[in-house]
Amino acid sequence: MNLRFFIVLLLALMAGNSLFSAAPHPDGDSLVAVGNISILGNHKTKDYIILREFTFRPGDTLSLNALNHGLAETVKNLQRQPLFHFVETEITLHPANTADIEVRVQERWYTWLWPIVDFSDRNFNAWLAAKDLSRLSYGLFLQQENFRGRLEKLHIMAVAGYQQQLYALYEAPYLNKSKTLGTGLMITTARERETAFRTYENRQEYFRHTGFLRHYTEASVFLKYRPGVHFTHTLACEAGFFRLSDTLLALNPDYAATSDSKAFIPVIAYFFKADFRDQRAYPLSGWYADALLEWNGIVPASGFNYLTLRSSARKHLPLRGRWYLALGAEAKFSAKGLKPWFRNQGLGYNRDYVRGYEYQVIDGDHFWVAKTNLRYAVLPLRILRMGFIRAEQFNTIPVSAYLGVFADTGKAWGGYNISNTNTLHGRQLYGAGLGLDVVTYYDKVLRIETSMNREGKTGLFIHFMAAI
């Protein structure tokens, strides 16, 4: 998705449509029995995958108001899954106080073969500052969602060039008859000619070599338990094998926390997730919370033994008219113990950063960050219909755009051997600015923001996921 594509979508304003419909009834308190539930448009997705997200079952008796509310919640549940562009529902009432439900879905395209052009930096903005084309890697990524129509996931990636990697993931969401247990396996093996080896003056320093500085293989198996719709528990066991060059260890003795060029890091982790949002990629209402507890180095032979707790929470509030408010907070706390520098990330990675500090990294055993967004829908949801495209997975395109203001704050502290050049360590950070978010199909988000941080530095930043 390039900038030109997003601009074309933003300018193509066409009439919208309703994604949810239910036949009204003059008396919402009247009791009705749920009759037949029919599903249309699921050419690949199995019926039971869709029925798993329903809040009621055939034969249930409930008021018409409760039925309409249950259908609305069901639509949200389905939209949180990576299955459909649109979900529409309709209630048909019968004289015998029964109600038949019809669900019409428009499936996504589930098989993708992506070309990969990757940069050896933490994020796009960090690479853009250097613009070093010699450090690019290339490859292919096979992304198979909804494998066999059963919500299974199969990912295979091969990357060559500057950095080299092989990656495979398989996930089966339902193993048992009650569809509460799932499992998965992930394997990654890689070798790197260049890697960040320390943090200096609040930025990562990289070292490159003609040979490979780091080899590693990580394998994990996980078990998921999803008793209902909103809560998921995951237990994972991981083993990481690392082989490091002597040059890398000489550059930073804390890189592996030991002088041994070979490291074995086993991890057992528990992850809990609660998801009550209206959608995944760019929610406008609802809330989300998670917690991750990791025990690193669970066997004495590894030489490592410490606990890490990470947690995040997000709240999305529709205000009056086209106004929306989003609040988010994330935190990490790590117990004392021998920690490799390259595994002990602080602020500046993934979503864990204060906006305005995209170029900076703040090391530390602990951090917290809080974010606030106030957004206005300059372009509420519109549906672009491309009649010249026959495939329904591509010819109906949702697009929306939001202007907003934001303010973030956060802090990272703790840890050992923190260089005194890293002046942001232990300091309260602040950042604020303006942004434009463009959202379209297949969970694509383009976020363009201009911000100023506490040090008075400004910048224009591009991101490809929602801030909160």
pLDDT for 33-90, tens place per residue? 999 999 999 999 999 999 999 999 999 999 999 999 999 999 999 999 999 999 999 9
Contact 83, 45 (CB under 8 A): yes
Is the domain of 152 the same as that of 90? Answer: no
In this model, does residue 11 exceed pLDDT 80? no
Place of tokens 């956060």: 410
Name the pLDDT band for 122 (thresholds 50, 70, 90): low
Residues 451 and 330 in one domain: yes
The angle formed by the CA atoms of residues 328, 362 and 121, to the nearest 5 degrees, is 90
Q: pLDDT class for 358, splitting at 50, 70, 90?
A: very high
* 57 and 200 belong to one structural domain: no
pLDDT at 294 exceeding the cut of 50: yes
Please tell me the predicted confidence (pLDDT) of residue 124.
66
Name residue, tokens 């949180």: 80
Q: Are residues 268 and 369 in the same domain?
A: yes
Mean model confidence pLDDT for the chain: 90
The domain total for the chain is 2
Residues 101 and 119 grouped into a single domain? no
SS3 assignment, position 55: coil
410 exposed, middle or buried (CB, 10 Å; 0-12, 13-18, 19+)? buried
CB atoms within 10 A of CB 266: 17
Q: Given this model, what pLDDT does residue 13 score?
A: 37
pTM above 0.85, yes or no: yes
Q: Give the CATH number for residue 43.
A: 3.10.20.310
Domain that residue 59 falls in: 3-107
Task: State the pLDDT at residue 395.
Answer: 83
Highest mean pLDDT among 119-133, 383-397, 429-443 belongs to 429-443
Q: Which of 370, 373, 272 is nearest to 316 (CA)?
A: 373
Q: What is the pLDDT of residues 94-115, one digit of tens each?
A: 988 899 999 999 999 999 999 9
Bridge-based pairing of strands 98-107 and 31-40 is parallel
The DSSP output letter for 142 is: E
Pairing mode, strands 203-208 and 194-200: antiparallel
DSSP class of 108: P
What distance in Å separates the CA atoms of residue 284 and residue 298, rounded to the nearest whole number? 40
Residue-level pLDDT at 392 = 80
Residue 1 has pLDDT above 50, yes or no: no
One domain, residues 169 and 289: yes
94 and 122 co-located in one domain: no
Residue 400 belongs to domain with CATH number: 2.40.160.50
pLDDT, average across residues 134-142? 88
234 forms beta bridges with 224, 271
Give the dihedral of Cα atoms 304, 296, 209, 347; nearest 10 deg: -120
| Residue 353 sits in the same domain as residue 379 | yes
Percentage of the chain modeled with pLDDT above 70: 91
pLDDT at position 126, please?
Answer: 65
pLDDT confidence band for 396 (50 / 70 / 90): confident
Average pLDDT for 432-436: 98
Shared-domain flag, residues 48 and 116: no
* Long-range pairs, 259-265, Cβ under 8 A, ≥24: 260/303, 263/302, 263/303, 263/340, 264/239, 264/240, 264/301, 264/302, 265/239, 265/240, 265/296, 265/297, 265/302, 265/304, 265/340, 265/343
Looking at the fold, whether 94 and 129 belong to one and the same domain comes out as: no
Distances (CA, A) of 259 to 213, 251, 254: 15, 12, 9
